[in-house]
A and B are shown apart, each in its own frame.
Chain A
Amino acid sequence: MWQGLNTHEVKVTVTNEHGLHARPVTEFVQLANRFQSKVEVVKGDLTVDGKSVAAMLTLGAGPGTVLRIRARGTDAAQAVKKLVALISSSFAQG
């Protein structure tokens, strides 16, 4: 756990039909990589690098899973906001 002014963390529930499989994870990671901040995704006591497809896939986050999206850095607030929006929209933009 890290603390600091520029750390943001928000809870979100995975809603899309098949959970975080290859395609949503790809989109998530592509988006995460647009931010300077370090991004981490937490499921229970498992924390993974949100900018790594391989790591994100190992979360095995099926529909209904509650995740915490955490970012630290200059654009942390923006990063968390966008990433959470992506998950809650069930990756609607395709």
Chain B
Amino acid sequence: MEIKKGIAVSPGVAINQAVVLDAEDYRIPLRHVSPQRIKQEVRRLDQAVTRSRQDLAELRDRARRRLGSETAAIFDFHLALLDDRSLQNKIRKLIRSDSVTAEFAVADVLRGYAKEFLQMPEYLADRVKDVYDIEKRILRHLIGQSREDLARLEEEVVVLAHDLTPSQTANLDRRHVLGLATDAGGRTSHTAIVARALGIPAVVGLNDVTASVNAGDTVIIDGNRGVVIINPDEATIRQHRQYVERIAEFELSLDRLVNLPAITLDGHEVVLLGNIEFPHEAATVIAKGGQGIGLYRTEFLYLGREVEPTEEDHYQAYMQVIHEMQGRPLVIRTLDLGADKYTQERSPVPERNPFLGCRSIRFCFQNLQLFKTQLRAILRASLQGDLAIMFPLITSVMELRQSKMILRDVMEDLEEEGIEVRRDVPVGIMVEVPSAALMCNQLAEEVDFFSIGTNDLIQYTLAVDRANERVAPLFTPAHPAVLRLIKEVIRAGQRHDLGVSLCGEMAGQPEYTLLLIGMGLRTLSVAPPAIPEVKQLVRSMTMEHARRVARTVMAFDNDKQIVSYLRDQSRQVMPEAY
């Protein structure tokens, strides 16, 4: 039995056999195979090459249709490199002469070429990227079988990985994947957000858990306490089974709340909305009793794919959500990419400080065509449902004006083309940078609503990278400075009669519900599985109590004191949750 401590990011407990995925950067260990297996390794290599060839031919054809032959030529080059006989022979020879696995031989030979290219003149040094790309593609087919099979598992498992890509999480088979644990990540990492959205227990930031677990080991993932137990003994398993049952009972009791309003004991109504990332989650929001969608993240359309999404791709995704919502409100946040592969690949030089770099609305301003494509699709959908547009990472009035001007341009373009749009579509901003929170009275004059994005607001206020395990404990919504900024924004909203909601992770953490309601918020947007629990809290509290809590908290000077006070007060309201 081995116990690993990480960060609990999605509640629940899973006890199952493990499936282990390899790190994306494929550190391939040198592994020898018995002479009898050499033939099989060569056959695996051939299969992987054949599959890679199919991928590439498909990519090339698609690129040619959508992006022209210039771009398609890149894939022609990849195909030629893949089919290079001398290269393939080298790999085969290495498998036979050194009795190594196909993956080791591929990595060794291709990295050898990469090294050689690096010493060439500049225009060739660039080709190193292509060599790595080919290497990854072949390796993906060699190692990745388990990864691809994630979408069609036959038995219930827990998945352990270095990290998960958006497309991997999107393809997770929910019925069979009962828990997630990753080496990397923090509370607001992509894996965490998706796990919460899907209601799968998850622990991240475990550093080296994938190295300690073998496929088939029994693993307990405790998403409440942030613990992963590898090969637990009988007593531990029994203890956790009981724990799972207790949680299930509690959740069952929460599910009875779906059709009841989120209303305090003394009659104050709170609106609970869901945050979604994928269109299919819209149905979960409704199933969990959400009254609409307060944050639809649209980045998924861009990540995990080779070509930029078309206007039609956007439109179809939005229409799917609108259709699910049947007239309920939906807030679409425009592209919030940054500090990720997508934007970095488009950057002329790697950014030294991506979170302070060309991300989010700034990236959109510099990639106007891409921004306009999304706005066109949103506006085209604007007449079909109760839809609002939200701009992320606004730091100044000027940025807001620029965003709105671009929106108006797109509106006029559409109207000139004879396409009807909703002229008065509500426009709001994420308040997620201290400068915006401090300027909220001025910004309030020019928007229809605010949504407080606490994840970034905390990061920028406290100067903490939430994904950096070494400083992650400093990342807390309970810091008095963060709470003061939130308070300012709520007040500005009240003064200007604007809707204010809060859509950060904080909104879904029950210990903050009393405080946020007491501070004056009447709309919270949370991960869909968290809706019932927050609703239960709202239904168990009085506004008078909430206001008293908010007043008391503002008098504290540190987050530790605030958190322990809030836990204590929440426990009084809803003892069964703790």
Q: Which residue of A lies closest to B79 (CB)?
A: A26
Query: What residue in chain B is nearest A62 (Cβ atoms)?
Result: B121
B117 and A57: CB pair below 8 A? yes
Instruction: Please indicate the chain B residues that have their CB under 8 angstroms from the CB of A51 in the complex.
Output: 85-86
Pair B123/A53 contact, Cβ less than 8 Å: no
B57 CB, nearest partner CB in chain A, Å = 14
Q: Which residue of B lies closest to A21 (CB)?
A: B123
Shortest beta-carbon distance from B135 to chain A in Å = 12
Say yes or no: A54-B124 contact (C-beta < 8 A), given A22-B130, A23-B77.
no
Contact with B127, one of A29, A49, A57 (Cβ below 8 angstroms): A57
Instruction: Determine if B481 is an interface residue (Cβ-Cβ < 8 Å).
Output: no
Contacts of B130 in A (CB 8 A): 22
B435 to chain A, nearest CB (A): 45
Q: Which residues of A have CB within 8 Å of B123? A: 18-19, 21
B399 in contact (CB, < 8 A) = no
Find chain B residues with CB under 8 A from A26 CB.
73, 76-77, 80
Known: A22-B77, A26-B73, A26-B76. A54 touches B121 (CB 8 A): no
User: A60: CB under 8 A from chain B?
Assistant: yes
A residues less than 8 Å from B86 (CB atoms): 49, 51-52, 54-55
A60 to B122, CA, bound (A): 10
Indicate which residue in A30, A49, A62 contacts B80 across the interface (CB closer than 8 Å): A30
Contact in complex: A54, B73 (CB < 8 Å): no
Contact with A along B84-104 (1 / 0, CB 8 A): 111100000000000000000
State in angstroms the CA–CA spacing of A51 and B86 once bound together: 8
How long is the Cα–Cα vector from A55 to B90 in the complex, in angstroms?
A: 12
Assess whether B116 is interfacial by the CB under 8 Å rule: yes
> B113 within 8 Å of A by Cβ?
yes
Judge whether A6 is part of the interface by a CB distance below 8 angstroms. no
CB distance from A4 to the nearest CB of B (A): 22
- Contact among A18, A19, A54, A58 with B81 in the assembled complex (CB-CB below 8 Å): A54
Q: A53 to B117, Cβ gap below 8 A?
A: no
Contact with B along A21-47 (1 / 0, CB 8 A): 111011001100000000000000000
CB distance from B378 to the nearest CB of A (A): 38
Q: Known contacts being A49-B86, A52-B86, is A57 close to B73, with CB within 8 Å? A: no
Interface positions of B from 110 to 143, Cβ below 8 Å from A: 113, 116-117, 120-121, 123-124, 127, 130
A62 / chain B contacts, CB cutoff of 8 Å? 121
Contact B84 A53 (CB under 8 A): yes
Query: B87 contacts which chain A residues (CB < 8 A)?
Result: 52-54
Most buried by B among A21, A29, A54, A60: A54
A62 CA / B124 CA spacing, docked (Å): 10
CB A37 to nearest CB in B, in angstroms, measures: 14
Q: Which residues of A are found within 8 Å of B113, using beta-carbon distances?
A: 54, 58
The listed residue (A21, A30, A49, A55) touching B124 by CB distance below 8 A is A21
- The complex places the Cα of A53 from the Cα of B74 at a distance, in Å, of 13
Contact A53 B120 (CB under 8 A): no
In the complex, how many angstroms separate the beta carbon of B124 from the nearest chain A beta carbon? 6
Contacts of A49 in B (CB 8 A): 85-86
Cα of A21 to Cα of B127 in the assembled complex, Å: 9
Pair B85/A52 contact, Cβ less than 8 Å: yes
Cα distance, A94 to B73, chains bound together (Å):
10
CA distance A55 to B121 in the complex (A): 15
* Nearest-neighbor residue (CB-CB) of B74 within chain A: A22
A57 touches B85 (CB 8 A): no
Cβ–Cβ < 8 Å partners of A22 in chain B: 74, 77, 127, 130
User: With the chains together, A53 CA to B127 CA distance in Å?
Assistant: 11
* Nearest chain A CB to B77 CB, angstrom units: 4
CB distance from B416 to the nearest CB of A (A): 36
Judging by beta carbons under 8 Å apart, are A53 and B80 in contact? Answer: yes
Q: What are some 27 contacts across the A-B interface (CB < 8 A)? A: A19-B121, A21-B123, A21-B124, A21-B127, A22-B74, A22-B127, A22-B130, A23-B76, A23-B77, A25-B77, A26-B77, A26-B80, A29-B84, A30-B76, A30-B80, A49-B86, A51-B85, A52-B85, A52-B87, A53-B84, A54-B81, A54-B87, A58-B113, A58-B117, A58-B120, A60-B121, A60-B124
Other than the known A26-B76, A30-B80, A57-B127, what 8 A-B pairs have Cβ atoms closer than 8 Å? A19-B121, A21-B123, A22-B74, A23-B77, A29-B84, A49-B85, A51-B86, A58-B120
Q: What are the 9 closest A-B residue pairs judged by CB atoms, nearest first?
A: A52-B86, A53-B80, A26-B77, A26-B80, A22-B77, A60-B120, A54-B87, A52-B84, A21-B123
